[in-house]
Amino acid sequence: MQKSNYIIEVQNVSKHFGDKIALDNINLNVKKGEFVTILGPSGCGKTTLLRLIAGFQTTSEGQIKISGNEITQTPPHLRPVNTVFQKYALFPHLNVFDNIAFGLKLKKTPEPVIEKKVKSALKMVGMTDYEYRDVDSLSGGQQQRVAIARAIVNEPEVLLLDEPLAALDLKMRKDMQMELKEMHQKLGITFVYVTHDQEEALTLSDTIVVMSEGRIQQIGTPMDIYNEPINSFVADFIGESNILNGTMVKDEKVAFAGHEFDCVDKGFGENVPVDVVIRPEDIYIFDPQDAAQLNGVVTSCIFKGVHFEMLVQTDQGYELMVQDYHSFEAGRRVGLLVKPFDIHVMKKERTCNTFEGEMIDANHVEFLGEKFECLPQDGIESGDKVNVEVDFKNVILQDNEEDGVLSGDVNFILYKGNHYHLTVGTDYGEDIYVDTNDVWDNGDCVGITISPEHIRINKL
Ligand code: ATP
């Protein structure tokens, strides 16, 4: 049998909890010795993926291999992995030494070997001299070090870490991040790390796996993910971004925010709608002058420790975030400039909502599990299967769920400089996308309505 180059192979893995799809066809290969971070917002499925690798849960579909061996049905204690959880889960009645030695004692390891291994693990986590301390007398950071020592003492091939630093304060978290990185280098084993903190992911990882709603969005090095986000979700989630609707006019020319810019992108075609991403640190800000591509007024200026973060309302009605070492106070008129290389153009995932539906009668069409009123349709008969299109701006959201033809929950909000682009998960299970100037929050329950004249119908 040919030996695999990867220590972990996750192949076509899905996980369902009843109707809920927590993971949807995940494919991920991890190289031996790699530090891989699974990053995404709460509920995206990170922990579920880690638990499947650890063996605490079983896959609904697909398989997982470790060192080339299929382990999907192997119980956790027989897998060559150890897990460190967010809550340290130490035994309060045992001291530091006995907590770390626990697994080795279960395996009936000889005493002198236990002694040697525990001491070496304590050294690795910087806790020499703490072995006889009561775990309750330790700080959060020290307890987490003991939890890590307890995991590495078993010499696993893979260390799985589920938000291990989430309970620590910022200073301790930063210190521990550096220590974890050093530990990873010294141990030479594979780390799979789960976090929702993008800065932590950028600091620690060789490879970042960005997830959203049970799916992998992008896999890449921290630099790739930061500099070349594959879509607006990744751009929004990693670092601060200005994300705007644009039009690729032709090769190396893109229009957005009411201006045509030179860029380096090619091959999109002509007059194609695109998403444009510009990092706030890539926008030059200065007193108004001819070189400016955009002009506007600063509406807020906050000192962020090293740089100033400013919001600029442009004369064309777009709000842009700008970071600079110099402050331009609120109320000041400014000019802005972006260099071609700093404009990131991304293909739009979609330009309008499209659904499969069925004609009920001349004035009604069913889609998303509901009956919507539409304008009379020539040449389309009752019972015909149809394709329904609705522009993002024509979806109306209502505070009261009962007021809508159907209802849903706001589950992703993207600010696009002059409006919000929302993803609303409908109760039917499919998402609907909405452009609005109204301010909604993640998790808001909404009614959804579409006027008959805004429903475009084409026979399939
Ligand atoms: P967080 O950062 O909040 O822990 P996560 O990205 O780790 O989030 P998961 O814990 O993997 O997310 O959960 C993914 C989805 O699956 C969520 O919608 C969650 O509610 C659901 N889920 C997880 N475990 C179960 C379970 N045992 N039963 C039902 N649903 C579950």
Q: Which distant-in-sequence residues (6+ apart) come within 8 Å of 205 by Cβ?
A: 35, 36, 37, 193, 221, 222
**Position 28: which residue type?**
L
Instruction: Give residue-wise pLDDT tens across range 106-125.
Output: 888 999 999 999 999 998 88
Ligand 1 geometric centre to CA of 423 (Å): 19
Q: Which pLDDT score is estimated for 170?
A: 84
Contact 198, 174 (CB under 8 A): no
Instruction: Give residue-wise pLDDT tens across range 306-351.
Output: 899 999 999 999 999 999 999 999 999 999 999 999 999 998 888 9
Residue of 13, 19, 39, 46 to test ligand 1 pocket, by largest number of atoms within 8 Å of CB: 46
Structural domains present in the chain: 6-232 (3.40.50.300), 246-347 (2.40.50.140), 353-459 (2.40.50.140)
Residue of 10, 21, 48, 409 to test ligand 1 pocket, by largest number of atoms within 8 Å of CB: 48
Q: Which pLDDT score is estimated for 155?
A: 86
Q: Ligand 1 in contact with 20 (CB < 6 A)?
A: yes
Q: Which atom of ligand 1 is nearest to the CA of 194?
A: 7
Q: What is the mean pLDDT of residues 264-293?
A: 95
Q: Among residues 361, 388, 373, which one has the least CA distance to residue 449?
A: 373
Residue of 19, 47, 215, 237 to test ligand 1 pocket, by largest number of atoms within 8 Å of CB: 47
Cα dihedral 438, 440, 446, 447 in deg (nearest 10): 10
Ligand 1, atom 29, residue with closest C-alpha: 17
Ligand 1, atom 18, residue with closest C-alpha: 43
Q: Which atom of ligand 1 is nearest to the CA of 23?
A: 14
- Distance (Å, whole) CA 431 – CA 438: 19
Ligand 1 geometric centre to CA of 27 (Å): 19
Instruction: Give residue-wise pLDDT tens across range 193-247.
Output: 999 999 999 999 999 999 998 999 999 999 999 988 999 889 989 988 999 999 9
Least confident of 20-34, 55-69, 163-177, 367-381: 163-177
- From first CA to last CA, the distance across the chain in angstroms is 48
Residue 3 pLDDT class (50, 70, 90 cuts): low
Instruction: Give residue-wise pLDDT tens across range 392-404.
Output: 999 999 999 999 9
Q: Ligand 1 in contact with 114 (CB < 6 A)?
A: no
- Distance (Å, whole) CA 47 – CA 25: 16
Instruction: Give residue-wise pLDDT tens across range 59-94.
Output: 999 999 999 999 988 888 889 898 888 776 788 889
The token duo for 109 is 């390891």
Q: Which atom of ligand 1 is nearest to the CA of 162?
A: 7
Ligand 1 geometric centre to CA of 165 (Å): 19
